[in-house]
Amino acid sequence: MKQLEDIRMILVSIYGEDGGQKALKAIVPLIESFPVQKSLKSYQFSEKDIVLITYGDTIEKDGEMPLSTFSKFADKYLKGVFSAIHFLPFYPYSSDDGFSVIDFHAIRPDIGDWDDVAKIGENFTLMFDFVLNHISSKSGWFKNYLNGADGFKDLAIEVDPSVDLSGVTRPRTCPLLTEIEKTSGEHVHVWTTFSDDQIDINFESIEILEKMIEVLLFYVKRGASILRMDAIAYLWKEIGTSCIHLRRTHDIIKLFRKILDIVAPHVLLITETNVPHDENISYFGNGIDEAQMVYNFTLPPLLFYTFLKEDSSILSEWAKGLNLDSVRNTFFNFTASHDGIGVRPLEGILPKEDVELLAENVKKNGGRTSYKNNPDGTRSPYELNITYVDALIKKEGNETDALHVKRFLASQVIQYSLPGVPATYIHSLLGSHNWEEGIRQTGRARSINREKLNFDRLEKELESPETFRFRIYTKYSEMIKIRRKQPAFNPTAYFEIIMSDPKVFVIKRACEAQTLYSITNISSEKVSISLKKETGRSDMEDLFTGKNMMTDSVGLEPYQCIWLV
């Protein structure tokens, strides 16, 4: 079987000839025992692919399990709008709001069970988090490691603290190594990239690799059609290197992809790599051997900058480079997530002073800035912690920003017009403001964008036209419903950036069935542009208003968005 030979070659690349053969013997039974999936066809992207990102307990109701409450909310407010639900880690955890997993195979008992997840999967494609770089120090696996149990002795990465690790790329400011004591009394230092509670997993161990493949296949059995590989860039460690984007990290992704191509080719892999654009897209591999999707991490901070400066020039130039060689790959476009707005992807695009300008604006709007340690001992901004809704506030003093809703929605229209699969964080859909109380409760800046919402109060706001949430949700969901019907928005459809007035962002999307022009005024001023030369037509219909517009003079109110067909 050629596919098994391909897997063997990948394993040899990772572990050498003898190790590769040993790993193959461990993995083949997992593949052969996996139940046949309903569909053995590779996934085909569609304009109907729209993802909602949420925690399993973002919406709560007294006397109900949160996953059951979310199911009711989804039936009423998400059906016909979103095609997929991305549940951030809903496993038992000890810290980092779910990303320090205690048990990969369980659902948190305080939010529901696997039956609740399956029920939601009846109406939506499911996307799970595959937290594979690290595991909780409170997990059974780590306790087995501490006890020296068979199969777990090599779970953690032990390093002599005298070794020079100054060249390792750091996403956090916490110590890279953590001292722990084993049951035997031995003291060792283990690798902890993200915190002392998040123990990095040692993929040099074939026994650990086998266990992680079992987790991968378990999620597929539980209904996952998309798997988000969390913090994947840091997976493989090699002393003397930066320990980011290493060849063996890419080999592990290729291995997972090959296994899924055999047992569940409909399942998509997406890499979460908050790094500059060229590094990010390296996880597409050759177009068919690694991830099908990568997070478009440059988009959130660059779009924020565009609206802050009211100038689309840099965004337009960057967007020209979003072409991909393979129709089997596409971007995962988002502006907000459970984390903040990462600024590392702006390296090489914006000067440091402009990144500092973003940080200053975030502070003015009630947000925070998180920093990372650099190899030279300095610190630099890593992430802006603020809801995307509040990032786009523009006001002087205490004066109300009358254009806030229009500006925020305009940013989302641009996101939804770019090539790729769009994803919306639930707090963006619901128009959530900064959650200051969350920061006070946890002491963590990221909590500002992770508020828990009461279902009854939320429903009341979504049904009341005078509320901010109603104004955001209603317009946002209407925009998505229109988009889902346009074949030109297929993630792999042709696109072209049209440079006109710097206060306007224009992108052409086209397929055999349709040509569409998305036009967004990113400024607080009225603007008029001509598109007659580009369209070859004197008038076209705006999908948002249903009205015909003359293409020789397209007039736009502040932050107005138009989809011309």
Cβ-in-10-Å burial (0-12, 13-18, 19+) of 441 comes to: exposed
What three-state secondary structure class fits 189? Answer: strand
Cα atoms in the Cβ-side hemisphere of radius 13 Å centred on 52: 28
Asked if 105 and 218 touch (Cβ cutoff 8 Å), the reply is yes
Question: In degrees rounded to 5, what are phi and psi of residue 179?
Answer: -80, 130
Asked if 308 and 361 touch (Cβ cutoff 8 Å), the reply is yes
Rounded to whole angstroms, the Cα distance separating 3 from 8 reads 9
Rounded to whole angstroms, the Cα distance separating 45 from 78 reads 20
CA 287 to centroid of chain Cα atoms: 20
* Angle in degrees, 0-180, between the axes of helices 247-263 and 206-221, rounded to the nearest 10: 40
Q: Where are the alpha helices (DSSP H) in 169-205?
A: none
* Token output for 447: 């909590």
Sequence-ordered list of residues with C-beta below 8 angstroms from that of 294, at least 6 positions apart, any chain: 270, 271, 273, 280, 281, 283, 284, 329, 331, 332
Which stretch of DSSP H or E encloses residue 304? helix 299-309
* Inter-CA distances, 532 with 500, 537, 553, 554, 564, Å: 12, 6, 8, 9, 12
Rounded to whole angstroms, the Cα distance separating 406 from 108 reads 38
Q: Active-site residue 116, yes or no?
A: no
Choose the catalytic residue: 230, 251, 390, 542. 230
CA 260 to centroid of chain Cα atoms: 21
Show which residues are catalytic. 230
